[in-house]
Amino acid sequence: MKGKLLDWVIFIGLCLIWGSSFILMKRGMFNGAGHPTLNAYQVAALRMLSAGLILLPFAFRDLQRITKKTFGLILVSAFCGSFFPAFLFCIAETKINSALAGTLNALTPLFVIIMGSLFYNIKASAQKVTGVVIGLIGSVLLFLSHGYSDIGYIGYAFFVLLATMLYGINVNTVQRFLKGISSLQIAAIGFTAIIPVSLAILFFTDYFKLPLLQNEYLFSTICSGILGIFGTAFASIIFYILVKRTSGLFSSLVTYGIPFVAIGWGLLAGEEVTLVQTGCLAIILFGVYVANRQ
């Protein structure tokens, strides 16, 4: 019972952290007045760089303890689970809003099932598929209840779709091949390996030539750093813990909790939560229950 409770504590914690990541991405690229500051590549690179730097001491300690094969699998996890999605989401949010990006992120559990079946020989029961579909329906209805029936910028929404496909690869990789490796090792080694690439991107996008001490650029840099330390480094560690404690599918259902956080941000901003939206959230919770029911 205590183990199950801890699983749900981790689950809710990830919903809160990752649900807040989308607004941090937007604040990294635009100031409070909506004017652009950093570009999508700079925000994503700063996110990856800060995650790598905070975990660098642990990487030096653990690097000699793993095999070359395991190192390769950790790189797959780092690039598919964090690096490429970070850029894809930032690029998408240059045209679509953070609420839409967060809602489309709910496609992740479907791609966990699809990628697991196609490439990892993992079969999902009809019950789990049903739970995922119910949760997805709730997410779509919640999205529509916010008045986004005309999606637009479909090409940019596709970037989010591609990111969720990569998440599906990452979850199955960790579940299938990295269960014997500690979550801290996976995150520390993976993100440290990304540091040189992130620095190169910042250099070639002229980030270091910007007036970084000006308030708006400093604020955007801080938001990107917070996104990397908490939304990437810390969140990845506890996500890997959840994957290994439960299952890849249950862990991916975290993406269904993200709309809860989006509504929370709306309440703080003075927005009204309608009865329809509350009903949609109930549908999402029911989907998570069905998928995880013994």
| 278 or 233, greater pLDDT | 233
pLDDT-based confidence at 149, cuts 50/70/90?
Answer: low
For residues 156 and 94, the answer to whether their CB atoms sit within 8 Å is: yes
Question: Angle CA(126)–CA(170)–CA(42) in degrees, nearest 5?
Answer: 135
Predicted local confidence at residue 146, as pLDDT: 59
Question: What are 154-163's pLDDT values in tens digits?
Answer: 678 789 889 9
pTM over 0.75: yes
Q: What is d(CA 285, CA 283) in angstroms, rounded to the nearest whole number?
A: 5
In three-state form (DSSP H/G/I as H, E/B as E, the rest C), the secondary structure along 92-159 is HCCCCCHHHHHHHHHHHHHHHHHHHHHHCCCCCCHHHHHHHHHHHHHHHHHHHHCCCCCCCCHHHHHH
pLDDT-based confidence at 253, cuts 50/70/90?
Answer: confident
Map out the domains of the chain as residue ranges: 2-28+36-292
Burial code (b: 16+ CB inside 10 Å, e: under 16) for 131-145 equals bbebbbebbbbbbeb
Can you tell me whether residue 218 is helix, strand or coil? helix
Residue whose pair of structure tokens reads 């993406």 in the numeric block: 255
- Within its chain, how far is the Cα of 25 from the centroid? 11
Predicted local confidence at residue 1, as pLDDT: 57
Question: What are 54-102's pLDDT values in tens digits?
Answer: 999 888 877 777 888 999 999 999 999 999 999 999 998 888 777 667 7
| pLDDT over threshold 80, residue 151 | no
| pLDDT over threshold 90, residue 46 | yes
Predicted local confidence at residue 141, as pLDDT: 79
Q: What is the mean pLDDT of the chain?
A: 84
- For the chain, percent of residues with pLDDT exceeding 90: 33
